[in-house]
Structure 1
Amino acid sequence: MRIALIADTFPPLRTSGAVQLRDLSREFVRQGHALTVMLPSADLDRPWMIEDLDGVEVLRLRAPKTKDIGYVRRTIGEFVMPFSMLKNLRKSPLAQERWDGVVWYAPTIFLGPIAGALKKASGCKGYLIIRDIFPEWAVDMGLMGRGLPYRFFKAVERYQYSVADVIGVQTPGNLTYFRKWTQPPGRRLEVLQNWLGAPANAPCSIAVKDTPLAGRKVFVYAGNMGVAQGMDILLDLAVRMRAREDVGFLFVGRGSDARRLAADAQARGLDNVVFRDEIHPDEIPSLYAQCHIGVVALDRRHKTHNIPGKFLTYMQSGLPVLASINPGNDLASLIDQERVGRVTTDASADSLAQAATELADALDANPGFAARCKALSARLFSAETAVRQVVMALD
């Protein structure tokens, strides 16, 4: 099939979404499909640029800046973005290209106009991959009320959904949110599990043996450190586990809370905690090879279901998981049923410390953790399965 994949994140960005889309793109090509990834770029000095990435055709289209700026500028930039992309697509060599299917990725919620235009021009189906439900999660977190901004974002969200023929959500728990959307005939709703491609084998710039955590069982958190993660509880956990000299905590990444958390750990005198800056995604497997337990944190105010990309990377590397997440999240039952870690949902540092202690002690007594984690990764979270499911829905 000739497929267009539209997103606002892709390498060289290092977000989990960028890594996921890179792996998905490579798998489309591996399975024999012709794929073009369309991306906005604020850095271009011309309307468009085409490049090749591992056999994937990448079309970067000039558009306003939407990353690392204030909320108002970002909203304006994201609203204008799809129209700028369309304008510059029409100046590119792919202006008259016809597609057998259009796939786009949320976040962001603003890609509906370009996805709809490509679908209409080609008379093909569209598949919307949803990895978070915005603006609902922002309301749940107290970042937004239900006033005018919320109503604006809801209108944009509804339009994006209206363009799709198929929507793939990441957990069964998110299906109920879209029941009303499925009422018109011809629409299809399904669970599309998160995915990862084959792990890279790049050396890691972080050597745990050269840090204060050398010789300890290392709990590692690698990823975004922001409001949605609610990571303060992890420092509270480190305080409660300070007496265990065989355990340490390594935090790797960036985000709105990263500097504050690192400063807080230093102020508390936590010698069992180390912070490091974000590393290249290809270094992650080598990082995890030096660690013992992966950590997942989601603020308990979330009401939607989320299986973070970092959970997939832990499973792929054979690391059992310690998770502090929102009540009712499908991830809790998955961890328990598959016996791949410990999970708490009560936002209690004491409960989390008990779970962490049990898991650290179980590592030696239960050597089957790594095998179960890797088996779960291969069964549910492969890029190969995801591509076949998307193609089947479009065909």
Structure 2
Amino acid sequence: MNIIFLTLVEINSIEERGIYQDLLRKFRNEDHDVTIVTPVERRRKIPTNFSEKEGVSILQVKTFNIQKTNIIEKGVGTLAIEYQYLSAIKKYTSHKKYDLVLYSTPPITFAKVIELIKKRDHAKSYLLLKDIFPQNAVDMNMLSNGGFLHKQFLKKEKKLYQISDKIGCMSPANADFILKHNPEIDRKKVEVNPNTIEPVNFEYSEVEKNSIREKYQVPTDKKVLIYGGNLGKPQGLDFLLETIEKNDSDQIFFLVVGSGTEFFKIQKWFNEKKPYNAKLLQKLPKEDYDQLLASCDAGLIFLDKNFTIPNFPSRLLSYLEMKMPVIAATDPNTDIGNIIEEAECGYKVLAGNQKEMQEKLQLLLNTDLKEMGENAGKLLFNKYTVDQSYHLIIKEIQDV
């Protein structure tokens, strides 16, 4: 099968680790022909180009800066990317006929690109729904509910769902939300196809773990709880900082690692408060981060309490891969907390409820972390490996 994958994630190598790279590598390893269409932001000063390496084709499309930039350029860039992709695909892929066009949200502005490939090649289409936009922007007060831009984006969202032969959602709550708010969608089009990875075994001895902690000046005699990943507004990180400040246990140490729009705000808080029980580190290279993560005892997930959409952060998979218990402090609409509690590998907390958070932290201290960690590993292998996602896509596209 010839597959073309459209994404806003910058992919330079199929051998990198990540939810998209892992899935695409699976397709390649199963002898499918894979073309990846990925942005290269103008700050990189690289022109649009087409190359073949590592058994796949990569079409880099020069775009505006769309990540970690101001809201105006991000908005313009997101709207312009559809036409930039259209132009590049017409120019560089006319020699190929695709059977499947695979794409993820964000963005929701790929409709014309998808329609071109479907019409030109009689291809099937599969949406990996990773982001429910524009509602998430409304929840974060980045878009005015019912405003002009909101209405325009809603039209694009519904168009994307309409032209998709299949829609893979991250969780049952995710799928229910889409169907409830888009009753025109045929229920048969929607299925649960969550974030998945190709797991790697990270087994370190206690000596090795202590050595890694010492490298980053992290205590070796405390339970280290790590929050790793994007430090942005959607994560509701004020609650994380409040959690650090309110926790007076001499057995817990918080480690915050990442980058994002809120990093400097968090850095300022750390500089002013100088917490004795926490440390902030900027984003690390993937290999270094994985080693540090493997030396920790439990993972933390935070989501803003105002979300009405059921987000399902991919950072969960990193924690499960390390066989770590998880505490998820989220809005009441996501089902990520229910899933980890049902699997007996962690606890859920309602974001903003500090009393409940401190209770769950204490509960974690009194829990057999090894047993919970084993349950975390089982959850990963039962639900979140690329094999499962791959077979869902192949099966459903063949059945369309």
Alignment match of 1:373 (pick from 347, 357, 376): 376
- Secondary structure of residue in 1 paired with 2:51: strand
The answer on 1:116 being equivalent to 2:119 is no
CA distance, structure 2, for counterparts of residue 374 and residue 170 of structure 1: 19
CA distance, structure 2, for counterparts of residue 295 and residue 12 of structure 1: 29
Alignment match, 1:216 = 222
Alignment match of 1:384 (pick from 379, 383, 387): 387
- 1:102-141 matches, within 5 Å, as 102-141=101-140
Q: Number of residues paired by the alignment?
A: 386
Q: Deviations over 1:289-331 (max 9, x none)?
A: 2100000000111111122111111011100001110113211
* 2:167 counterpart letter in structure 1: I
CA distance, structure 2, for counterparts of residue 58 and residue 44 of structure 1: 17
Percent sequence identity over aligned pairs: 21
The answer on 1:25 being equivalent to 2:5 is no
- Secondary structure of residue in 1 paired with 2:276: coil
Pair 1:327–1:123, CA change in 2 (3 A): same
* Offset, 1:185: 6.3
CA distance, structure 2, for counterparts of residue 351 and residue 262 of structure 1: 26
The answer on 1:260 being equivalent to 2:245 is no
* TM-score of the two chains, using structure 1 as the length reference: 0.91
Alignment match, 2:325 = 320
The answer on 1:225 being equivalent to 2:228 is no
Alignment match, 2:177 = 177
Alignment match, 2:162 = 162
Aligned residues of 2:325 and 2:376 also touching (Cα < 8 A)? yes
Aligned residues of 2:137 and 2:143 also touching (Cα < 8 A)? yes
- Secondary structure of residue in 2 paired with 1:91: helix
Alignment match, 1:349 = 354
- Secondary structure of residue in 2 paired with 1:129: strand
In structure 2, stretches of 5+ residues that fail to align are none
Worse overlay, 269-278 or 69-78: 69-78
Alignment match, 1:99 = 98
- 1:1-150 matches, within 5 Å, as 1-12=1-12, 19-42=18-41, 43=44, 45-52=46-53, 54-92=54-92, 94-146=93-145, 147-150=147-150
* Offset, 1:367: 3.1
Aligned residues of 1:82 and 1:114 also touching (Cα < 8 A)? yes
CA distance, structure 1, for counterparts of residue 132 and residue 185 of structure 2: 21
CA distance, structure 2, for counterparts of residue 285 and residue 178 of structure 1: 33
Worse overlay, 206-215 or 228-237: 206-215
- Secondary structure of residue in 2 paired with 1:152: helix
CA distance, structure 2, for counterparts of residue 33 and residue 126 of structure 1: 16
* Offset, 1:22: 0.8
* TM-score of the two chains, using structure 2 as the length reference: 0.90
Aligned residues of 1:7 and 1:39 also touching (Cα < 8 A)? yes
Aligned residues of 2:259 and 2:282 also touching (Cα < 8 A)? yes
In structure 1, stretches of 5+ residues that fail to align are none
Alignment match, 1:394 = 397
CA distance, structure 1, for counterparts of residue 257 and residue 275 of structure 2: 16
* Offset, 1:71: 1.5
Alignment match of 1:281 (pick from 282, 286, 296): 286
